[in-house]
Amino acid sequence: MPFYQDFTTHDSQILFWKYHDSDAFELVNLLGLETQEQVENYHPKKRKEYLMVRQMLKQSLPNHQILYKSIGQPYLDPKEAFISITHSFPFAALAISQRRVGIDIEKIMPKIRRIEHKFLHESEISWTRNEAQIDYLTVIWVIKEALYKLHPSKYWSLKKHYRVAPFSLDNLTHLPCEVFDTHFKDSYSARVEKIEDYYFAIIEEHHTLNFPLQPGALF
């Protein structure tokens, strides 16, 4: 199984795979009978993405499986670590960690402008209006999606409760970002990689202090 790149850190194993036509999957070893029947009805690309993630898990933790909570968040069974998954064909990635972790990938496409009103916080509007707007919007999107996977709530809005500090596309190593509400703010640092015409975000939990968010304050 050819990995495109290994982003493993001190606390997390993060595997990134690019599909190749020569890749083959043994469904019997990866899936139960009931799941096999379900997966066989998937669109071919979705089926490959699904199997790529399970193959990476099989290689790392052969006696575990991925299940889903009611809000759609994946978790390991047995629950011996935290996981996060993402895929956008031909890529798929899996993170396994002793800390909460969130990863996300998105292709760089102009159509993201059409949905920016759904995820862009008012504080992010002015500094993303430039000639590289599509890239900035895509980076913000993958950071917020990774944050949501790490810090989810079906009641929160990517536009109202998640935000990213101004950054430069020349340095995407440590990007401050946060999840906040009226009474608290959790701060994180995102790592973003540009891979071909995609952006890939990684956010790992660290020890943070919860404190009241001051009106109008950003970071």
What is the predicted pLDDT for the residue at 214? 36
- Is residue 107 domain-shared with residue 86, that is, in the same domain? no
Q: In this prediction, what percent of the chain has a pLDDT beyond 90?
A: 63
What is the predicted pLDDT for the residue at 1? 52
Write the pLDDT tens digit of every residue in 39-76: 888 998 999 999 999 999 998 899 999 988 877 889 99
Global pTM reads: 0.89
Last residue of a domain, one of 78, 99, 120: 99
What is the predicted pLDDT for the residue at 212? 37
d(CA 188, CA 23): 36
State the residue range of the domain holding 70.
3-99
- Is residue 67 domain-shared with residue 133, that is, in the same domain? no
Write the pLDDT tens digit of every residue in 62-113: 999 998 887 788 999 999 899 999 999 999 999 999 899 999 999 999 999 9
- Is residue 43 domain-shared with residue 112, that is, in the same domain? no
Judge whether residue 218 has pLDDT over 50: no
Judge whether residue 207 has pLDDT over 60: no
- Is residue 83 domain-shared with residue 133, that is, in the same domain? no
Answer whether residue 218 is part of any domain: no
Answer whether residue 211 is part of any domain: no
- Is residue 142 domain-shared with residue 161, that is, in the same domain? yes
- Is residue 200 domain-shared with residue 110, that is, in the same domain? yes
Answer whether residue 212 is part of any domain: no
- Is residue 120 domain-shared with residue 82, that is, in the same domain? no
Last residue of a domain, one of 40, 75, 99: 99
- Is residue 45 domain-shared with residue 83, that is, in the same domain? yes
Answer whether residue 157 is part of any domain: yes
Answer whether residue 215 is part of any domain: no
CATH number of the domain within which 74 lies: 3.90.470.20
- Is residue 9 domain-shared with residue 74, that is, in the same domain? yes
What is the predicted pLDDT for the residue at 37? 79
What is the predicted pLDDT for the residue at 216? 36
- Is residue 93 domain-shared with residue 119, that is, in the same domain? no
Average pLDDT, the chain: 87
Last residue of a domain, one of 71, 99, 127: 99
Summarize the confidence of residues 153-172 as an average pLDDT: 91
- Is residue 80 domain-shared with residue 114, that is, in the same domain? no
Find the range with the poorest average confidence among 31-35, 100-104, 114-118.
31-35
- Is residue 69 domain-shared with residue 145, that is, in the same domain? no
Answer whether residue 89 is part of any domain: yes
Judge whether residue 210 has pLDDT over 60: no
Answer whether residue 217 is part of any domain: no
Answer whether residue 88 is part of any domain: yes
Indicate the number of domains in the chain: 2
